[in-house]
Structure 1
Amino acid sequence: MVSTVVRLPPEQAAQLLARYREAVAAKRMRLALGAVLLAGAVVLAGIGGEVDLGTLAANAHRLPTYVWNLTPPLALATLGRDLAEWFWNLDGWLLLLGDTLLIAYLGTLFGALGAFVLCFAASANLEKRRWVRFLARRTLEFCRTVPELVFALLFVMAFGLGALPGVLALAIHTMGALGKLFAEVVENIDMKPVEGAIATGAGRLDGIRYAVLPQVLSNFASYALLRFEINVRGAAVMGFVGAGGIGQDLMVAIRKFYYTDVSAILVMIIATVMIIDLVTERLRHHLIGLEQRP
């Protein structure tokens, strides 16, 4: 293989080299300017947040100390007894963890149903009336903008302690989040089947059923499964405000400094979330694979 080297005239090579150096200098200047702006923003945020570096340095040892206190005394010779003592309330915690999973499941189910209803009204390619799209989109924005904990606090005040406030809070926030995702999926569909259905005399509902749903159902299910993973973690936090689930026992253990109870509950929550993540990930990939088949 013969390679040829093209030699430019000295004047042209010098011009190109000068342009290259100018471009490199301009890029370095932009990077330096960005670094200065970032540093200034960090300083202003620290001042606005009243960050005290002295206090931070003086108390930095407390976090690793607290984490160390969470570690239960485990010895290989007495491992079975130590684990039994660590998870002394396993049956009770499993029941509360089951409540947390049910709260997440119902919140995801009701929220997904609400998102399914509103997403078609929020899609520009299906809903031509601007005021309908405006109302649907602003409703979804309100639902996903307000944090779940705020909704949970309001519902606890209205309905009292228990699982109901957690289910309602997760359902409302899930409806807002999934509604936006569902609407974006609907807006990216192929409109030719829809136009064909309308041309044959199909109404709005029939057009959605036969021309839209076959294109979007797998993505809808995938997003709903992903939201269920998020809601399991959210349902565990809901217990902090009295909205049911294992979070209530976790908050009591934290407030009373029951260190080993805190670590045991956290291990159970982490293990549960990991298992759910693995299972739902497989399901999502399976659904996406079905969609990609010819």
Structure 2
Amino acid sequence: MATALARLPDDRLAELLHGYHAAARAPRRRALILAFSIAALSLLAARVAELDLPRLWEHSGAFFGYFDRITTLESGAGRVWTDPAEWFWGWRKWGLLLLDTLLIAYVGTALGTLGGFLLSFCTASNLATNRWLRGTARRFLELCRTVPDIVFALIFVIAFGLGPVPGVLAIAIHSMGTLGKLFSEVAENIDMKPVEGASAAGASWLAMLRFAVLPQVLPNYASYTLLRFEINVRQASVLGFVGAGGIGQDLIEAIRKFYYNDVAAILLLIILTVMLIDLGTERLRHRLIGAMESRA
């Protein structure tokens, strides 16, 4: 049996509609203010950066023309992929330099992960009760990740000379700052009940970390470490521009001497390497996380 709904009086409906529009007006006003603020800041940033859109459009052809040039054989007979032997004439040398790049990224990531792992427990507000220790560790990690790694590489090249050592140190310091921050955020979001139970049972601070904290944070720690390794492979390639070892040294030399085919070949090798590392670390990450979660 259908039930008829009573209709509110017109004055009551008008009052409710007025209240609804008044309530919806404030979020709409805030959204418009935010949009105008973002637009104004974007225009200001473009003016400070001297962004010239007509000039950018005018020279866009030269930008795409460079990629057309690096994929054309020096003889002009065709594209580089029509003659792979000529294109990858230095594959042996480039392969060894690429291996150096991978080793630089690996060692730098390992050292940075170790430092970030140790300092993350000193910066987590729920684990480190000493304000001075926590503040000092946080400022140190901020310094490590604020200074670009290429700046660290330049400093270490002056100190230690050309080679892979400056690259390893630069990547290690920057990775420590970044991973230390990420690790500490993971540690701050753990379930505190196991920690409270371990403390109530009389466990020391190290024992509490070992049995109450580590089982909760290790999956995320492993995931962030593998992601950072992938990033560091790309960074190690760039650090070679300043003499910090790896394939970047040959890449910048080819760019400066206008060896267009060599630039294309080296870039392709770097891209393929990063793609393979991405696929490998993704599988390894899922396997590690699954194993740790099943063990827990």
The TM-score normalised by the length of structure 2 is 0.88
d(CA) in 1 for partners of 2:33, 2:94? 53
Are the counterparts in 2 of residues 72 and 86 from structure 1 also a CA contact under 8 Å? no
Structure 1 counterpart of 2:187, one-letter code: V
Q: CA deviation at 1:50?
A: 2.2
Between 1:31-40 and 1:250-259, the stretch displaced more is 31-40
1:199 aligned residue: 200
Q: Secondary structure at the match of 2:123?
A: coil
Q: CA deviation at 1:257?
A: 1.4
1:43 aligned residue: 43
Q: CA deviation at 1:18?
A: 4.4
Q: What are the superposed Cα offsets for residues 1-30 of structure 1, whole Å, 9 maximum, x if unpaired?
A: x88784642334444444555566665555
In structure 2, relative to structure 1, the CA distance for the partners of 1:129 and 1:252 (3 Å cut) is same
Q: CA deviation at 1:261?
A: 1.0
Are the counterparts in 1 of residues 71 and 80 from structure 2 also a CA contact under 8 Å? no
Are the counterparts in 2 of residues 111 and 170 from structure 1 also a CA contact under 8 Å? yes
Q: What are the superposed Cα offsets for residues 199-229 of structure 1, whole Å, 9 maximum, x if unpaired?
A: 3433222222222222222221111111101
In structure 2, relative to structure 1, the CA distance for the partners of 1:4 and 1:251 (3 Å cut) is farther
In structure 2, relative to structure 1, the CA distance for the partners of 1:233 and 1:200 (3 Å cut) is same
Q: Secondary structure at the match of 1:121?
A: helix
Q: Secondary structure at the match of 1:88?
A: coil
1:151 aligned residue: 152
Q: Secondary structure at the match of 1:181?
A: helix
1:227 aligned residue: 228
d(CA) in 2 for partners of 1:55, 1:116? 48
2:258 aligned residue: 257
Q: Secondary structure at the match of 2:60?
A: coil
Q: How does 1:116-155 map to 2 (within 5 A)?
A: 116-155=117-156
Between 1:167-176 and 1:254-263, the stretch displaced more is 254-263
Structure 1 counterpart of 2:245, one-letter code: G
2:105 aligned residue: 104
Q: CA deviation at 1:238?
A: 0.5
2:62 aligned residue: 62
d(CA) in 2 for partners of 1:198, 1:26? 48
d(CA) in 2 for partners of 1:159, 1:292? 43
Unaligned runs of 5+ in 1: none
Q: Secondary structure at the match of 1:120?
A: helix
d(CA) in 1 for partners of 2:123, 2:179? 12
1:287 aligned residue: 288
2:215 aligned residue: 214
Structure 1 counterpart of 2:143, one-letter code: F
Q: CA deviation at 1:285?
A: 2.0
Are the counterparts in 1 of residues 166 and 244 from structure 2 also a CA contact under 8 Å? yes
Structure 2 counterpart of 1:164, one-letter code: V
Q: Secondary structure at the match of 2:132?
A: helix
The answer to whether the aligner puts 1:160 opposite 2:165 as a matched pair is no
In structure 2, relative to structure 1, the CA distance for the partners of 1:196 and 1:27 (3 Å cut) is closer
Between 1:80-89 and 1:239-248, the stretch displaced more is 80-89
The TM-score normalised by the length of structure 1 is 0.89
What do you get for the CA RMSD once the two structures are aligned? 2.5
Unaligned runs of 5+ in 2: none
